[in-house]
Amino acid sequence: PYEYYEKYGVRRYGFHGTSHKYVSHRAAEFLEEPIERLKLITCHLGNGSSIAAVDQGKVIDTSMGMTPLAGLMMGTRCGDLDPSVVNYLKYNLEITGHELDEILNKKSGLLGVSGVSSDKRDVEEAAMNGNKRAQLASDMLNYQIKKTIGSYIAAMGGVDAIVFTGGIGEHDADSRAKICHHMDWLGIRIDTDKNRDAHKQKKDVVEVTAWGARVRTLIIETNEELMIARDTKEVIEQ
């Protein structure tokens, strides 16, 4: 009911805003285009993950909701889930709302599915060693990221660049490759060698776009502290 928004502030707030703002503006600088002319998808991927659709400098959608629990599955968070599951588990497990909150926030996601770890690196290693649940967890996350990117392209009517940032986004070449796989028809294709060797560049922005791709793909090292300092300076000087 709309009144819950009015009385209690129930709405999609989104998170990682400082990171999304920084990398979107840094992408515009790198692409040498005013951000007001760009359609960007920024993927902040780590133990906590969110994706934002940035259209002409404004975020029109973001994967997290009223809390960071919504959106993609994460290190220990479940991500999006059928609301009926909450009541179903509560009654079947005979637990309190607080205990259920602990499960959804701290025992789910990569940890819950893989049974190995909340760290994507540990999950990938286990998957390489034949752990099927670890492979499932990795595949689920990559699929959810790909699906969200696709939906945001539809929402904006196109995209000029995709930005990867955060612990996974900046350092996991395999995930970037799998996320962008089979997206050629959207103009998204990354160069295998550039993607694999991106960490060797020692730059805050690395482009991994394949030759002929219509959409630019960038890896940008986020700098939330710098963005906070800039925003603070702007507020003080008003």
Q: Which residues pair with 72 in a beta bridge?
A: none
CA atoms within 13 A on the CB side of 50: 24
Q: What is the pLDDT of residues 166-222, one digit of tens each?
A: 999 999 999 999 999 999 999 999 999 999 999 999 899 999 999 999 999 999 999
CATH tag for 13-62+74-236 (out of 3.30.420.40, 3.40.50.1860, 3.30.43.10, 1.10.3720.10): 3.30.420.40
Q: What is the pLDDT of residues 50-85, one digit of tens each?
A: 999 999 999 999 999 999 999 999 999 999 999 999
Distance CA 195, CA 141 (A): 19
- pLDDT at residue 238 is higher than 90: no
164 band by pLDDT with thresholds 50, 70 and 90: very high
pLDDT for 184: 95
Q: Are 51 and 151 in contact (CB under 8 A)?
A: no
- What pTM did the predictor assign? 0.95
- As a whole number of Å, the end-to-end CA separation of the chain is 38
Is the Cα dihedral 80, 81, 82, 85 positive or negative? negative
Query: Any idea of the CA torsion for 38, 146, 75, 27, to the nearest 10 degrees?
Result: -20
